[in-house]
């Protein structure tokens, strides 16, 4: 089933000029990039994006980090895009990520972990709509 997911190249990776290498890996894995832009989130915008994590102990630190510099947001399309992108990213904690995954290669810590991916169809729809209008995806 062809599906879309939201990917973010997080501020830690953009700052270290890893955007091009990560996009190269995305395309080599067979995703179509349906939309893409650079965005510097405000703290409030980062909080809105991570609303589901509001009660988690790392919420303040995470939203601080996500608003600390520009990120690149993308809509990726592929067969089973949600699980396929999460597999390419690897585990949240780079210490647990498998060899060959983006987080194993590029993440600095469990928080500064280079990339984001939606975790279910409902969250993908919310997250894509958070950054892109329907006209951007036509
Ligand atoms: P993402 O949602 O970014 O794709 P994920 O689904 O693997 O990552 P979540 O549990 O949704 O992980 O956590 C969202 C983000 O919060 C993580 O990507 C990471 O940046 C940060 N995070 C998660 N757990 C921790 C933690 N224990 N300490 C600090 N930051 C954390
Ligand atoms: Mg998540």
Helix (H, G, I), strand (E, B) or coil at 91: coil
Q: What is the pLDDT of residue 111?
A: 98
Q: What is the pLDDT of residue 88?
A: 98
Q: What is the pLDDT of residue 47?
A: 98
Catalytic residue among 7, 13, 116, 131: 116
Q: What is the pLDDT of residue 38?
A: 98
116: annotated active-site residue: yes
Q: What is the pLDDT of residue 46?
A: 98
Using the mean position of ligand 2's atoms as its centre, give its distance from the Cα of residue 135 in Å.
26
Q: What is the pLDDT of residue 91?
A: 98
Residues at CB less than 6 angstroms from ligand 1 = 58, 62, 92, 110-111, 113, 116-117, 119
**Angle CA 62–66–71, to nearest 5:** 155
- Mean pLDDT in consecutive groups of 10 residues from the start of the chain, 138 residues: 98 98 98 98 98 97 98 98 98 98 98 98 97 94
CB 23 within 8 A of CB 33: yes
């Amino acid at each position: 089933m062809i599906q879309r997911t939201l990917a973010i190249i997080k501020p830690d990776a953009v700052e270290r000029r890893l955007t091009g290498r990560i996009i190269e890996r995305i395309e080599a894995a067979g995703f179509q990039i349906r939309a893409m832009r650079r965005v510097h989130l405000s703290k409030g915008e980062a909080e809105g994006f991570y609303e589901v994590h509001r009660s988690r102990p790392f919420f303040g630190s995470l939203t601080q980090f996500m608003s600390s510099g520009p990120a690149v947001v993308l809509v990726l399309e592929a067969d089973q895009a949600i699980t396929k992108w999460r597999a390419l990213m690897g585990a949240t904690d780079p210490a647990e990520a498998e060899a060959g995954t983006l987080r194993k290669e590029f993440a600095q810590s469990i928080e500064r972990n280079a990339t984001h991916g939606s975790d279910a169809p409902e969250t993908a729809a919310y997250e894509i709509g958070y950054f892109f209008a329907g006209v951007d995806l036509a």
